[in-house]
Structure 1
Amino acid sequence: MVNAEISYRVPYADTDQMGVVYYANFFVYFERVRNELLRNMGLPYTLLESDGLMLPVASANCDYKMPAKYDDELLIKASITELKGCRMLVTNEVYNQNGDLLVIGGTTHCFVSSDTRRPVKIPTQVLTLFNNYEEKN
């Protein structure tokens, strides 16, 4: 399985009037760690785009267990849990500095041709990078 994690200290701008992270910001956090995940695989978005591919979000979900607050040091994790057809499922978890699970969720992406804007089968090069990464780790 391909994994990545990042640390992120919650700035005041990410919080709402109650002093907790605004719920939609977790999807931004998912995007940040997903970038690292793809980069770790050797597949940054710039490479996908230069190969004529896009990776839009087809669905997103988030289950909030506990709030994250201003100045919390978060550990944001991502793993690719499925590659099938044209879809890639990325599962995310967010923990606070005490190790408490705050959020679990994920995003499903569809590989799409930038020319036709239509779904395409996951390219062989992507599957190869995925498999090579799994073998090394």
Structure 2
Amino acid sequence: MKKFIWPVRVYYEDTDAGGVVYYANYLKFFERARTEMLRAMGYEQDQLMAEGIIFVVRSIQVDYLIPARFNEQLQVSADLSLVKKASFDFEQQITRGDEVLCKGIIRVACLDVQTMRPKAIPENIQEQLKNEC
């Protein structure tokens, strides 16, 4: 799977009064792609919660390069770049054709649902994530 791509269309609700995507909505697009990548790998967030773990964003670095606009069709990528004991990093991009509109590095941490403290990623998930790097 290496680089996962999720298509997104920009809806009116994603934009500001000028028809440009509001900056925080790029983070939502990134989130959708990460969630869909995990789903494609066989991991549903609600099932993970039932097993006592959740994945949460720990840190994010974003560069906004070119604005996206209302009704455009975009591609959002999610590419695992680092897997550690209790966290993993994604390198993500939002593109329109060959143009990179936005890019980011997102660190996701694994937490225990009850304590909300860091918890080791289960070995089977950790191995599958490492295979995607």
Which 4+ stretches in 1 moved above 2 angstroms?
128-131
Once the two structures are superposed, the pairs formed by residues 10-25 of structure 1 within 5 Å of their partners are 10-25=10-25
Once the two structures are superposed, the pairs formed by residues 56-135 of structure 1 within 5 Å of their partners are 56-96=56-96, 98-131=97-130, 134=132
Q: 2:54 — aligned with what? A: 54
**Does the 8 Å CA contact 2:83/2:129 hold for their aligned counterparts?**
no
Q: CA deviation at 1:46?
A: 1.9
* Structure 2 stretches lacking a partner, 5+ long: none
SS of the residue 1:18 aligns to: coil
**Does the 8 Å CA contact 1:88/1:109 hold for their aligned counterparts?**
yes
Using structure 1 for the length normalisation, give the TM-score. Answer: 0.88
Quick one: distance in 2 between partners of 1:14 and 1:38? Answer: 24
Using structure 2 for the length normalisation, give the TM-score. Answer: 0.91
**Does the 8 Å CA contact 2:80/2:129 hold for their aligned counterparts?**
no
Which deviates further from its counterpart, 38-47 or 71-80?
38-47
Q: 1:35 — aligned with what? A: 35
**Does the 8 Å CA contact 1:95/1:103 hold for their aligned counterparts?**
yes
Aligned residues: 133
* Structure 1 stretches lacking a partner, 5+ long: none
Q: CA deviation at 1:130?
A: 2.6
